[in-house]
Structure formats: structure tokens, C-alpha cells
Amino acid sequence: MAGKYKYIVFSSASPAGNEMSLKEWNEYYAKEDKIAEKLGISILFRGWAMGVSEDYVTVYEADKYVDELVKLYLESGRGTYVSSSRTITVVSIPEE
């Protein structure tokens, strides 16, 4: 049986994202949180990314593969605020 999927997503802000205040980002995150909950995705944490070229990192966890994460991005309007991202997918090693 497959374990949960974790997605470590490094993202770069778009010009529109760079113009947003911390308050505006927090409003976006609140919207993303609601949509994630509806889709069965947990947001484990968000933070500033250090040691990489991107601006920030978000770690998501889900029972399903990447399809639900793509839905989250589309429904939240993420493409307006993020110009690019890269994702590392981590799958739990099943116990015997």
C-alpha cells in the first residue's frame, strides 16, 4: 500500500506576486488553505527559501498523486502570483 505523498515546492514570485504585501500574501494563503482542505491536501508549512534560487517553499501532503495539487494551483489562481516553481515529490516507504 502506498503511503502519503509529500510535495516540496520551491516557487518564484511573478511581478504581480512581488508587488503583493505580506497581508495580501496571507489573504491568498487563507484562500489556498480552504481549497487545499476541500481537496484533501495538508499544507505542512510555508517559508522563505534559502540556499536556492526561488523565493519561497511550501510543503504539501496528500493521499493522491499530483493531480490534486494541480487542481489546488488552478482553483487558487496561483499562476497570477507565481512565475515558476519546481517540485520534489517524496513517497513514504511502506512498512512491512
Question: Which pLDDT tens digits describe the chain residue by residue (96 residues)?
Answer: 456 889 999 999 999 999 999 999 999 999 999 999 999 999 999 999 899 999 999 999 998 877 888 899 999 999 999 999 999 999 877 777
Q: How would DSSP label each residue in 77-92?
A: THHHHEEEEEEEEEEP
Q: Which domains does the chain have, with CATH numbers?
A: 5-91 (3.30.70.1060)
Buried b (16+ CB within 10 A) or exposed e, 53-65: ebbbbbbbbbeee
For residue 70 the three cell numbers come to: 494541480
The span from the CA of 82 to the CA of 2, in Å, is 30
